[in-house]
């Protein structure tokens, strides 16, 4: 992981800030637009972004949309053809899906959410192309984060985005010519003062890069670790790193999803007892659905991205995170997470968890057992 200085990075809170910024960037594109998303829904947000991409094509901009076959399985074929007819290059990552197979190649998904505009602006985060209010039971808007990146890190992001498209285009025998950077593309970058790294996780050369970046920062923590993560089922190394940090006097806080969307999410509860016994604070966000994948350490190191801390993200999916070393950005994100804890979360107390919640504890071990079986089938059980 290489941190590069000279970046301007803005925190975007949920779709309310992200989608207008993304639409604005697409509307001002002059050469190329790349958009990668796990979920793309044809709701009002998907239609909004789709129309922006169509407007870009009408101006002569080349637009490349890459979506995941499983995450976007409900996207109507008619809508995809509508985008293609307008001139947008659309590819679907691993379109063949099957609920009856545990083959690794079927389970390796495109989970990263990255947009690249003219090689001068990028967006990285955990926000899919779906309305924040498109949540079960319409409780409140979904909580999530992304960042807008400008500066010296752009060539690294552009190289990653275009290499992935070219690789998939080759695998799909894509009839369209492979995208190349326009010779007239602007060569200047909006520079800033933030030091940052763009880190991806794939199944070839970068299998453990995101996990390694987390572990390195946790091992170096001196004062505080605060993690907000939607799907939190950490492996042995990660659990040990957090417990060791707490043992040396580091305040460790976990903000986790309090509303369970899937049964396997109960596996998170399997670690509550040992974390609480070791002084780690646990908060469950219950105001709405929390989709965040962010962290702040010592109020100077931070990350925003698509990677959950669970075996699906850390062992199987393509993910992308931005890691930053900047006190101002870290303080801003820290303040936002703290506000979520104070205004929408419930603290899990050690005594209460030990004395009550017997049903949750029982379900957690069933769910964790299923996760272990799943990992054993695909060959990763020894890492969890």
**Which residue in 87, 74, 158, 89 sits closest to 118, CA to CA?**
158
Catalytic choice (8, 113, 162, 384):
113
Residues 57, 34 contacting (CB under 8 angstroms): no
Annotation says 293 is catalytic: yes
Around Cβ 137, how many Cβ atoms within 10 Å? 7
Distances, alpha carbon 192 to alpha carbons 7, 118, 150, 244, 281, in Å: 4, 18, 8, 35, 35
> Could you tell me if 70 and 50 are in contact, meaning their C-beta atoms sit under 8 angstroms apart?
no
* Max Cα distance, the chain (Å): 66
CB atoms closer than 10 angstroms to residue 170: 10
Q: Are 210 and 305 in contact (CB under 8 A)?
A: yes
Q: What are phi and psi of 236, to 5 degrees?
A: -60, -45
The encoded tokens of residue 182 equal 């326009």
Which of 31, 89, 293, 384 is an active site residue? 293
Instruction: Please identify which of the residues 31, 291, 334, 384 carries the catalytic annotation.
Output: 291
Q: Which of 31, 68, 89, 118 is catalytic?
A: 118
24 carries an active-site annotation = no
Instruction: Say whether 291 is catalytic.
Output: yes
What DSSP assignment string belongs to 166-184? Answer: HHHHHHTT-SSPPP---TT
In the set 298, 310, 336, 384, the catalytic residue is 298
User: If phi over 0 gives left and psi between -120 and 50 gives alpha, with beta otherwise, what is residue 87?
Assistant: left
User: Is 355 marked active-site?
Assistant: no
Query: Other CB atoms closer than 10 Å to residue 60's CB: what's the count?
Result: 10
Gap between the Cα atoms of 73 and 298, Å rounded = 40
Reported as type and span, the H/E element at residue 374 is helix 358-378
Q: How many residues does the chain have?
A: 384
* C-alpha angle 322-164-186 in degrees, rounded to nearest 5: 70
Is residue 266 within 8 Å of residue 290, measured between CB atoms? no
Q: Which residues are catalytic?
A: 111, 113, 118, 291, 293, 298
């Amino acid at each position: 992981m290489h941190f590069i200085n000279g970046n301007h990075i803005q925190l975007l809170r949920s779709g309310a800030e992200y989608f207008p910024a993304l639409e604005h960037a697409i509307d001002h594109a002059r050469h190329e637009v790349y958009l990668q998303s796990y979920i793309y829904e044809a709701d009002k947000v998907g239609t909004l972004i789709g129309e922006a991409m169509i407007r870009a094509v009408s101006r002569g901009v080349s637009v490349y949309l890459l979506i995941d076959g499983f995450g976007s399985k409900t996207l109507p074929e008619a809508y995809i053809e509508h985008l293609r007819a307008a001139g947008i290059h659309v590819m679907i990552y691993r379109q063949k899906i099957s609920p009856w197979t545990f083959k690794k190649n079927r389970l390796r998904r495109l989970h990263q959410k990255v947009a690249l505009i003219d090689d001068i602006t990028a967006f990285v985060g955990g926000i899919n192309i779906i309305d924040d209010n498109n949540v079960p039971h319409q409780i409140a808007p979904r909580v999530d984060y992304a960042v807008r990146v400008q500066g010296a890190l752009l060539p690294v992001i552009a190289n990653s985005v275009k290499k992935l498209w070219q690789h998939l285009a080759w695998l799909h025998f894509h009839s369209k010519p492979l995208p190349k950077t326009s010779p007239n593309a602007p060569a200047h970058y909006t520079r800033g003062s933030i030091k940052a790294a763009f880190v991806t996780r794939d199944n070839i050369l970068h299998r453990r890069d995101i996990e390694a970046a987390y572990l390195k920062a946790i091992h170096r923590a001196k004062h505080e670790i605060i993690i907000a993560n939607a799907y939190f089922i950490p492996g042995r190394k990660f659990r040990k790193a957090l417990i060791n940090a707490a043992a040396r006097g580091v305040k460790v806080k976990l903000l986790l999803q309090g509303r369970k969307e899937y049964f396997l999410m109960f596996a998170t509860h399997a670690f509550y007892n040992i974390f609480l016994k070791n002084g780690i604070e646990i908060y469950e966000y219950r105001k709405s659905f929390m989709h965040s994948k962010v962290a702040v350490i010592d109020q100077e190191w931070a990350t925003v991205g698509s990677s959950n801390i669970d075996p699906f993200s850390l062992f199987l999916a393509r993910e992308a995170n931005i890691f930053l070393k900047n006190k101002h950005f870290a303080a801003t994100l820290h303040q936002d997470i703290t506000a979520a804890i104070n205004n929408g979360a419930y603290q899990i107390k050690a005594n209460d968890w030990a004395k009550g919640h017997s049903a949750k504890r029982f379900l957690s071990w069933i769910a964790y057992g299923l996760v272990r079986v799943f990992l054993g089938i695909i060959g990763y059980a020894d890492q969890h």
